[in-house]
Amino acid sequence: MTAPARSLGDHLRIWRQRRHMSQLDLALEAEISQRHLSFIESGRSTPSREMLLHLAERLDVPLRERNGLLLAAGFAPVFSERPLSDPALGPARKAIDMVLKGHEPFPALAIDRHWTLIAANAALPPLLELVEDAVLLSPPVNVLRLSLHPNGLAGSIANLAEWRAHLLDRLRHQIGISGDDTLAGLLNELQAYPSPAPAVHAVQDYGGIAVPLRLHTKIGILSFISTTTVFGTPIDVTLSELAVESFFPADDETARILRDIAR
């Protein structure tokens, strides 16, 4: 039996509750009356497209879901969704490639909203040689699955318990923001993987600024800290969901080794 489609009011209420906002909170943020917002959520008032987009902006609704809100209200979507290969996204793709290339000899990769690998620089493939099961490297490659699967990189991560907790926390936060069912399914899968025992010895502290990734390799342990880069003002769904994960050496020895490999 097919579940009935959610009304616009239901969609707004869910996003408001996801952001932990009361009707009064959102009304004040959107500079409208609580009565007006109540009427919109109950279906007693139909908002204009501009008002709906204004509320979605205040709720920080992802662009993909803003299109869904518009459709629920009977409006056409306003945010396009094109593949990264589309000529219209050429400048954005060049920007991504420049960021990836410019980060060498240190690894960097671009991912979509589901952590699917979109692109990577030349410093990543040598690290992927640590993956035990080549099937995990068959496209589409999910970066989180690749990292935490027992036959992926997990066996080579020196601080697996710490890194696993860090990745799962990021994923939970992303699910809380987006409400994405695919990510929720991915979280269930990752949590079912064997859980490593907590480290007996204290993990090296990086001043509380980051959780390191420490990889066992044939040439010693490589230690990284990571940053995430996103487009600042995207108006395309595809670009809004892209992120570049850049890994920086967490110590001088890692930096030296990576520069030697590049040479």
Q: pLDDT tens, 126-159?
A: 999 999 999 999 999 999 999 999 999 999 999 9
Q: What is the 3-state secondary structure (H, E, C) of 221-259?
A: EEEEEEEEECCCCCCEHHHHCCEEEEEEECCHHHHHHHH
Task: Compute the mean pLDDT over every residue in the chain, rounded to the nearest whole number.
Answer: 92
At 249, is the pLDDT very low, low, confident or very high (cuts 50, 70, 90)? Answer: very high
Q: What percentage of the chain reaches a pLDDT higher than 90?
A: 86
Where does residue 9 rank: exposed (0-12), middle (13-18), buried (19+ CB within 10 A)?
buried
Token representation of residue 253: 């020895």
Residue range 87-262, CATH number: 3.30.450.180
At 208, is the pLDDT very low, low, confident or very high (cuts 50, 70, 90)? Answer: low
At 4, is the pLDDT very low, low, confident or very high (cuts 50, 70, 90)? Answer: low
pLDDT(259) > 60: yes
Q: pLDDT tens, 61-85?
A: 999 999 999 999 999 999 999 999 9
52 touches 37 (CB < 8 A): no
Please give the Cα distance from 76 to 158 (Å, whole number): 50
Mean pLDDT lowest among 53-67, 84-98, 198-212: 198-212
Kindly report whether the peptide bond that precedes residue 105 is cis, defined as omega within 30 degrees of 0. yes
At 209, is the pLDDT very low, low, confident or very high (cuts 50, 70, 90)? Answer: low
pLDDT(108) > 80: yes
Q: pLDDT tens, 177-195?
A: 999 999 999 999 999 999 8
Give the pLDDT of residue 199: 60
Domain at 8-72, CATH homologous superfamily: lambda repressor-like DNA-binding domains (1.10.260.40)
Q: What residues does each domain of the chain span?
A: 8-72, 87-262
Count of helices and strands (H, E) across the chain: 12, 5
Q: Which helix (H) or strand (E) holds 216?
A: strand 213-217
Give the pLDDT of residue 232: 87
pLDDT average, residue stretch 98-112: 97
pLDDT(48) > 90: yes
148 touches 193 (CB < 8 A): yes
Q: What is the arrangement of strands in the sheet containing 117-120, beginning at the earlier edge strand?
A: 117-120, 108-111, 243-249, 220-229, 213-217
Please give the Cα distance from 114 to 142 (Å, whole number): 8
Please give the Cα distance from 184 to 174 (Å, whole number): 9
pLDDT(19) > 60: yes
pLDDT average, residue stretch 32-42: 96
